[in-house]
Chains A and B, each alone.
Chain A
Amino acid sequence: MAAPGWRRPRARLAAALRCARAARNWKHRAQQPPRAEPVQAALYVHWPYCQKRCSYCNFNKYIPRGLDEESMRSCLTREAQTLIHLSQVQRISSVFFGGGTPSLASPLTIAAVLETVSRRAHLAADAEVTLEANPTSAGASRLAGFRASGVNRLSIGIQSLDNAELRLLGRNHTADEALGTLEEAKKLFPGRTSVDLIFGLPGQSISSWAGGLEELLQLCDDHVSLYQLTLERGTSLFKQVQQGSLPVPKQEVVAEMYESAREMLRDVGFRQYEVSNFARNGALSTHNLSYWQGSQYIGIGPGAHGRFVPRAHGESLREARIQTLEPDSWMKEVLAFGHGTRKRTVLSQLEVLEEVLVLGLRTDIGITHQHWQQFAASLSLWDMFGSSEEVKELEDQGLLLLDNRGLRCSWKGLAVLDSLLLTLLNQLQQSWADRTAHRT
């Protein structure tokens, strides 16, 4: 197979040097503006269509009546061009096709987006390119087509190996179909196939959950994502539970499911590198990891979110950006303006730090001192959290660690991170305000 032309390796060194230089400059400068962002970003591409509505999903998705994929494709590429330019990034570190059901898109569309990206920025040959796939829409031949278009990692929404549960979730595939897809994917993307499972379903027992997971662990590749079902307002599952026709999953039971799953995965050599993500043989998702490390990312497609500095406008602060939700309106905007950005919110330095804290602690490594320093050069983790009584209490309870490596959750703490974050966010705000008061 001929490598597509965009897979040109480029000197990583240059980029690294640029980063180091930027960091050094920052140290010498005063507090404003924040440190220059590295000139790279991850790219998220949202495919907004599904064949069928799942009963638990409140994502931005549409069941298309007549889908003009060609227009969709040209809009995605157009928006990618515009936003990459706007961000002035020179390198796209990874690409993720999410949805919706992006495996319903044609491999042509995937290839077109990747080509555009590699024309506008550097996309390394080994850069991670993930596609979310649904078992039914991803037969062997289609999967091969995606691989040929440049996809090198697959994330399969298996969700459950119990057909009754799959029906409850409103999935349009059976457990056997899911396993068939997994089988094919492993052949095409060895070591780079991930599976998603959902737990905490109404009526699900701890033993049935553990049984399903056990079965999957015999067959899966090196990456597993486990998501607790969140009942989202507006979904049919939410309504059924609300009306009492389905039982509410008990907190204690769900906690037990999570705990037993973590242990089972640990026992077979998986590293829990994030709250819901497990990998062995180093098969971490670099794309998702970049979210949790607070890196820049560009989002294209209807409803996609982004976090980047629009440097082409001469800005220096990061923005939270959301694209227009509804596909037809989004397309119109892209055609008219080159992009469909609906909302831009400038993030203050403190807000960026809050995100870094909240996201970083989701990982097993947590936030290292070096990592933190990239975002807050003048205020170390020790300065921020070292003298707080409440943080100390959390440490004493064995939930949190602050040491020479950095700040991170313990095994026990990771499961209750959201409780820890309330204390930490308040402390962060406090330290930040104290610092500002001190300076003025």
Chain B
Amino acid sequence: MDFYQKKTVHYEYLVLEEYDVREKLDMSIFPVENIRNFSIIAHVDHGKSTLADRLLEITGTIAKTDQNKQVLDKLQVERERGITVKAQTASLFYSYEGMNYLLNLIDTPGHVDFSYEVSRSLSACQGVILVVDANEGIQAQTMANFYLAFEAQLAIIPVINKIDLKNADPERVEKQIEKLFDISKDECIRISAKLGTNVEKVLQEVIEKVPPPSVNIRDPLKALVFDSTFDHYRGVIANIALFGGEVQKGHKIVSAHTRKTYEVNEVGILTPNEQPTHTLYAGQVGYLIAGMKEVTEAQIGDTLYLHKQPVEPLPGFKSAKPMVFAGMYPVDQAEYNNLKNAIEKLTLNDSSVTIHRDSSLALGAGWRLGFLGLLHLEVFNQRLEQEYNASVILTAPTVPYKAVLSSTKLIKEHGKEEITVINPAEFPDKSSVSEYLEPTVLGTIITPDEHIGKILTLCQTRRAVQKDMMYIDEHRVMLKYIFPLNEIVVDFYDALKSLSSGYASFDYEDAEYQAADLVKMDILLNGNSVEELGTVVHKDKAYAVGKAMCERLKDAIPRQLFEIAIQAALGSEVIARETVKAYRKNVLAKCYGGDITRKMKLLKRQAEGKKKMRKIGNVEVPKDAFISVLKRQSEK
């Protein structure tokens, strides 16, 4: 999943002298009991990548040079939001107490938008290194990561990093870990990944505490795909972990998900570059190339097995399930094809983005894209802008609602009772619905206690229901809330950050769909409904949302020769209204010799603009007006 990898790490690769690289490595020298598979998990900026660099250096996987510093995160959104920090998947060779060990460090994306990917990566591990910053302490993402590891019943090695910092307070962090994770403070390792302090100890703990994978080489092949990337020359490169058997070039393998058969061209380990091997054996981690053309053929969580030797697929496979949708349109329709190419390129490495062509009378041809979460959407958008120089209009994100139908006619039409509604235009009327459902998430907020009052108010305005509140030390509080997803997709994170001066952290995981009092709100201009502005809202929020939309439209629709009523309506009930007054005077005062040229230019430009306006009834609406209402509001 190159897509989420933001840290470009420059390694100098060593030639491993014991294993002649010109000949393929023989991996059979590592019996299962000498293998440890583990991940590093951490909140953003707690030092995951630096620790990974040190581990690679100590094991001689990369040369120890000054250059092994993670290059600063490329994407602003990643820095700010903490998607991240993805260490390279790497096989480390380490000798300890006379034994040669194969330590596989398996990467995980660092954000719960990608919790599914994280869970698949973790399912290839038997242990994790949980890194916590000695100054910042436990953060929301630390919690989320801990629970994922805990639920997967992995060995957890708590590591307190950055003890070299002036404000480091490892005792406080140890207390937090004891209180929240029920892990004795004696088990915590205090390190400075930056200076290398105690890092060797971490490696030894991995060997001591993480159990070897419990697999059998004599079982038929069973390999988990936990990541995949796309290479223009070689096709899909799948990262795999072997839960049984072995695989080598020439084997015929089958995807349990697609049932397609492939012939293996190449297998190998990652050190962290691809290093071909003869064979990969049960318990080992590496890559496989088998003529797959698209990343969708190597979906994360899929199981590969040998042709004619089917196995029970590994549990937990899910197809990507987008939870946040947004329309994407080129600012200029002439850029449509360029944008299309850019989106295609980006999705080559990210099968979790769903794409549907869409077109809007106001914004032209575009797409409705589905993302795993809000962050996923932001990263995608920023990459489009930064890497492909594409300028796009991104509409405010929406979430998939559900409706339980009561009308037998509709049930017959849809072939089912419960339907998912993404497009507001398809929102079924209340009369044919027994209830509407909206997606919710379980959100975790960790904050210094002085901000609690404001945060409780914020959560309340977002229709959130408190589930838990506890002090994790003398000053920090952890709050848990069930949020309707649509209440956090727009600007919740920024509101939280701004009212806590940046100190509160937030993370969430999917929860259930819940019954909700949803309504479809129409926007009317002089009584005519504007289709592209129709929206589904919670009834309690309809007035506020409707009023805000009307106000934005009022500012964006130019005066015309008649009065324009801008209304938000639920069915026939108008809940908000703004008025654009008619022009009473619109004529240039002076128009003599020198003014004429200027005046003509101005008028012709305006006349040209008038042609491009969209007519709703007799009201002319400039594209900018739609953009200002539909676009995600700038959150900064």
Footprint of B on A, CB under 8 Å? 44, 59-60, 98, 226-230, 251-252, 254-256, 258-259, 275-276, 288, 291-292, 297, 299, 303-307, 320, 322, 351, 354-355, 358-359, 362, 393-394, 397, 399, 414-423, 425-426, 429
Contacts and interface: CB of A to CB of B under 8 A. Distances in A.
A69 to B, nearest CB: 23
Nearest to B604: A425
Interface string B594-611: 101101100110110011
A235 to B, nearest CB: 14
A29 B283 CA distance: 94
B386 to A, nearest CB: 34
A227 B592 CA distance: 12
Interface in B576-627: 581, 583-594, 596-597, 599-600, 603-604, 606-607, 610-611, 618
B596 A355 contact: yes
7 contacts: A251-B584, A254-B585, A256-B584, A276-B589, A305-B593, A415-B584, A416-B585
Nearest to B594: A305
A419 B583 CA distance: 9
B563 to A, nearest CB: 12
Nearest to A200: B589
Contacts of A423: 610
Contacts of A226: 589
B589 A355 contact: no
Contacts of B583: 416, 419
A291 B592 contact: yes
Contacts of A420: 561
Interface residues of B, number: 28
Contacts of A229: 589
A304 B593 contact: yes
Contact of B561 (A255, A291, A351, A419): A419
B147 interface: no
B562 interface: yes
Contacts of A259: 584-585
Interface of B: 559-562, 581, 583-594, 596-597, 599-600, 603-604, 606-607, 610-611, 618
A359 B584 CA distance: 20
A422 B606 CA distance: 7
A417 B618 contact: no
A417 B596 contact: no
Contacts, number: 107
B596 to A, nearest CB: 7
Contacts of A304: 593-594
Given A393-B618, A425-B607, A415 B589 contact: no
B607 A227 contact: no
Given A251-B585, A291-B596, A418-B588, 16 more contacts: A227-B590, A228-B585, A251-B584, A255-B585, A258-B585, A275-B588, A275-B591, A299-B594, A354-B604, A358-B596, A359-B591, A362-B587, A422-B606, A423-B610, A426-B607, A426-B610
B22 to A, nearest CB: 71
A415 B596 contact: no
Given A252-B581, A416-B584, A426-B611, A288 B592 contact: yes
A115 to B, nearest CB: 23
A327 to B, nearest CB: 15
A90 B368 CA distance: 68
Contacts of A275: 587-589, 591
Contacts of B585: 228, 251, 254-255, 258-259, 415-416
A299 B597 CA distance: 14
Nearest to B598: A305
A13 to B, nearest CB: 29
B560 A419 contact: yes
Contacts of A393: 618
Nearest to A292: B591
B596 A362 contact: no
Contacts of B610: 422-423, 426
A415 B611 contact: no
A307 to B, nearest CB: 8
Contact of A418 (B584, B586, B592): B586
A69 B560 CA distance: 50
Contacts of B604: 354, 425
A226 B585 CA distance: 14
B224 to A, nearest CB: 63
A60 B595 CA distance: 12
- Residue of B585, B594, B599, B603 contacting most chain A CB atoms (<10 Å): B585
Given A303-B594, A397-B562, A354 B600 contact: yes
Contacts of B603: 358, 418, 421-422, 425
- Residue of A291, A297, A399, A421 contacting most chain B CB atoms (<10 Å): A421
The 10 closest A-B pairs by CB, nearest first: A255-B584, A255-B585, A228-B589, A417-B587, A305-B593, A227-B589, A425-B607, A422-B607, A305-B594, A418-B586
A306 B593 contact: yes
A415 B561 CA distance: 11
- Residue of B559, B607, B618 contacting most chain A CB atoms (<10 Å): B607
Contacts of A254: 585
A421 B603 CA distance: 8
A358 B584 contact: no
Contacts of B559: 251
Given A354-B604, A358-B603, A305 B597 contact: yes
Contacts of A414: 587
Contacts of B618: 393
- Residue of B587, B592, B611 contacting most chain A CB atoms (<10 Å): B587
- Residue of B559, B561, B597 contacting most chain A CB atoms (<10 Å): B561
Contacts of B599: 358
B561 A44 contact: no
A244 B14 CA distance: 66
A421 B604 CA distance: 9
Contacts of B588: 230, 275, 418
A355 B601 CA distance: 11
A297 B584 CA distance: 33
Contacts of A306: 593
A255 B604 CA distance: 24
Nearest to A420: B561
A355 B129 CA distance: 77
A256 B585 CA distance: 9
A359 B596 contact: yes
B13 to A, nearest CB: 60
Contact of B596 (A228, A276, A305, A416): A305
Contacts of B586: 415-419
Contacts of A359: 591, 596
B593 A399 contact: no
B561 A230 contact: no
A399 B561 contact: yes
A394 to B, nearest CB: 8
A420 B607 CA distance: 10
A426 B608 CA distance: 8
A306 B596 CA distance: 10
A256 B596 CA distance: 26
A345 to B, nearest CB: 8
